[in-house]
Amino acid sequence: MAMLPVDNPLLLTVGIMLASLLQILDSTIANVAIPHMQSSLGATPDTISWALTSYIVATAVAMPMTGWLSDRVGSRNLFIWSVAGFILSSMLCGMSQNLTQMVLFRALQGATGAFISPLSQAAMIDTNKPSRQPQMMALWGMGIMVGPILGPFLGGWLTENANWRWVFYVNVPLGAVSLAILLAELPSRVRIRRRFDLTGFGLVAICLASMQMLLDRGNHVDWFDSAESWIYLGVAVSTAWMALIHFATTPHPLFDRGLFANPNFVVAMLIMVVMGVVMFATMALLPPMLQHLFGYTVIDTGEALVPRGVGTLLSMQFAGYLVRRGVDPRMMVILGFSIAAYSLWDMASWSLAVSRETIMLAGLIQGIGMGLVFIPMNAIAFSTLPAQLRTDGASLLNLCRSIGSSIGIAVTTALAARSIQVSHADLASHVTASASSMVDVSAAEKFQAVGETALRMVDAEVNRQAAMIAYVNDFYLMMWLALAAVPLALLLRRQVTGPGR
């Protein structure tokens, strides 16, 4: 399919980027405001988490429909209605008066915003010639990579200086600008009469919802010591198996089987899962570590994470340039994962005495590594994909990233909680009178209130050290995962388009 005509490509790029950035920003911007939302909406610590869960589950369930809806109603119409729905639901979230309203409107926000990322990625490819597509993917990838980093920083600043409701209201004026640009400039692909695979969608939706519920609720219900977790797992596995059989046998599957017959695209999906785990799990671990263990404020935390975004921006632009010049993308993916693994190895050597400069340097290096992976991987995946499959392909890649991030956050959080308990018990067993040459811990109880305060201080320090060990263990795990992803790049076939196209 030929490149879609656009009157003002630069203006359209701004509109697409703005919509994409707002959507990905909302995956993390509300996290910082949760304590304020809890008191304002009269919720408990357990129930307020549904404000986050509903958004994640609704996004995962709605995203597989992107390709069919795009063909049915037109890519332009779906993109515009998605942005409009996202703006409206964001405003409703800010106006919520109780938890029920918040959960309902967050689910609506997730469902309407789910189409924005895959549609924006497909639009950036459709409206540019092949030689410019790597550069456009670099621009689009900035929002995907930088959005989650800016989210906690912007959310904390808005919460402290205005009100938690502005975490959602901020989407309204910026979204309106994006909507106006899309209405004026966005072209549309030719519509295709395509039958909707209701059975396939139902199975995928139930599978994704069950898996997301398991990942989100697992830590709250003590994972598989709870019957609730086993129910989620059973439903997810059974529906996944049924969906595989259905897609292999039905004449009109939800996803075109040509996607899974493309080796580059299948490997790209696996790489995207790994990227979701490594990138998003790290970004989920660092803010609480910096704030709770090192005493950073929300603003300080945001500043410490900025170099990660800077590294990503620089390496994405450089990667786009190298792809256009014909450098083998597979070597860039290998280099990127190797750099990311090195940064995680460095982070695994941190202690409670680590300096801010060291934290920022590690973030910069990791951002460079992730940027080098993202652009070549997308270039290879879409270079061998027929134009009519781009929207479906973009939705699957974004879904894999979302699944990877959910898995990474859930697994690292669970391992950190378990590691804290084990490390605390191990460290506490060494806090004895014979182990200290300065303080007789066994005699502290003789001093009553003063002694109790001293014991609490010792226990608090043991907790801090145990938590730091838990974070270090998580960094080690992600380092090995990044290294394990290196061989996947060798399974990719080199891009067939040359630099001159």
Query: If you write DSSP's letter for every residue of 422-481 in order, what string do you get?
Result: HHHHHHHTT-STTT-SS--GGGGGGGHHHHHHHHHHHHHHHHHHHHHHHHHHHHHHHHHH
Q: Categorize the per-residue pLDDT at 432 as very low, low, confident or very high, splitting at 50, 70 and 90.
A: low
CATH of domain 261-413+475-495: 1.20.1250.20
Alpha-carbon gap, residue 231 to 75, rounded angstroms = 37
Of 501 and 377, the structure prediction assigns the larger pLDDT to 377
Count Cβ atoms below 10 Å from residue 460 Cβ, excluding itself. Answer: 10
Closest CA to 255 of 192, 208, 194: 194
Dig out the tokens for 448 from the structure.
């009553």
0.85 cut: is pTM over it?
no
Which ranges in 63-197 belong to alpha helices (H)?
Answer: 66-73, 75-95, 99-113, 116-126, 133-161, 166-169, 171-185
Name the class of domain 1-197: mainly alpha
pLDDT above 90 for 88? yes
Q: What is the pLDDT of residues 13-63, one digit of tens each?
A: 888 888 888 887 777 777 667 777 777 777 776 677 677 777 877 887 888
Query: Quick one: average pLDDT of 225-252?
Result: 86
Question: Phi, psi at residue 115, to the nearest 5°?
Answer: -80, -15
All CATH 1.20.1250.20 domain ranges of the chain, comma separated, are: 1-197, 261-413+475-495
* CA 206, chain centre distance (Å): 21
DSSP 266-326: HHHHHHHHHHHHHHHHHHHHHHHIIIIIS---HHHHHHHHHHHHHHHHHHHHHHHHHHHTT
C-alpha span between 87 and 175 (Å, rounded): 6
Show the CA angle centred on residue 234, arms to residues 230 and 238, nearest 5°: 175
Taking only the tens place, the pLDDT of each residue in 473-490 is 889 888 998 888 888 888
138 close to 18: Cβ distance less than 8 angstroms: no
Whether the per-residue pLDDT at 189 is higher than 90: the answer is no
**In this model, does residue 416 exceed pLDDT 60?**
yes
Q: Which residues contact 380 (CB under 8 A, 6 or more apart)?
A: 264, 268, 329, 330, 492, 493, 494, 495
To which residue do tokens 């940064």 refer? 343
Q: Whole-angstrom Cα distance, residue 379 to residue 144?
A: 16
**What percentage of the chain carries pLDDT values higher than 70?**
87
Exposure on the CB side of residue 129, measured as CA atoms within 13 A: 6
